[in-house]
């Protein structure tokens, strides 16, 4: 996989542009990768509701849970589906709205200097082999394009928003992931 640093796009990803982003602050260096997990509705996989959420077309009356997030405007740079498919919503050069109130290494507003990857999953089930394969390939491509993303700067949403977020959750195998990266 390869990142086009001019466009900010991952060449192998399916691109579905989201309006839920803005410019990064001037001179900001991308040096953190945040791993998330999402399922829509919670605990269910497949379908297009994650894409609809990031594209602002989700029918909030389509499931009781959706009413609790009505009007939410969020995005991630990438989504890795259960089958390993990679979907990009926001160019890496832009600030996606994935981290919310967050802090890393004494710096607030983690969206300013990070890339967010959502894995289709939850706290209650293991991730798929195909997802790990894609995540490893994507991470290597991102580290090549953005050398500031060192191994110690790859974190979970729970690490940057403790007490507020739990993802990617207890079933994400950090040891396996980090070992594969080398």
pLDDT in tens, the chain (182 residues): 999 999 999 999 999 999 999 999 999 999 999 999 999 999 999 999 999 999 999 999 999 999 999 999 999 999 999 999 999 999 999 999 999 999 999 999 999 999 999 999 999 999 999 999 999 999 999 999 999 999 999 999 999 999 999 999 999 999 999 999 98
Alpha carbons 102 and 81: distance in angstroms, whole number: 25
Q: How much is the pLDDT for 113? A: 98
Q: Residues with catalytic annotation? A: 118
CATH class for the domain made up of 3-181: alpha beta
Kindly report, residue by residue over 120-165, the tens digit of the pLDDT. Answer: 999 999 999 999 999 999 999 999 999 999 999 999 999 999 999 9
């Amino acid at each position: 996989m390869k990142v086009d640093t001019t466009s900010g796009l991952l060449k192998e990803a399916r691109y579905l542009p989201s309006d839920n982003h803005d410019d990064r602050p001037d001179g900001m260096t991308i040096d953190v990768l945040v791993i998330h997990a999402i399922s829509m509705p919670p605990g269910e996989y497949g379908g297009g509701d994650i894409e609809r959420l990031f594209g602002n077309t989700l029918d909030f009356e389509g499931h009781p849970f959706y009413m609790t997030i009505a009007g939410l405007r969020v995005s991630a740079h990438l989504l890795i589906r259960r089958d390993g498919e990679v979907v990009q919503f926001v160019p890496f050069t832009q600030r996606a709205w994935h981290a919310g109130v967050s802090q890393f290494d004494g710096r607030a507003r983690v969206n300013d200097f990070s890339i967010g990857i959502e894995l289709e999953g939850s706290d209650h089930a293991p991730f798929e082999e195909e997802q790990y394969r894609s995540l490893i390939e994507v991470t290597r491509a991102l580290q090549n394009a953005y050398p500031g993303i060192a191994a110690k700067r790859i974190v979970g949403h729970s690490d940057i928003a403790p007490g507020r977020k739990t993802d990617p959750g207890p079933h994400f195998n950090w040891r396996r992931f980090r070992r594969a990266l080398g």
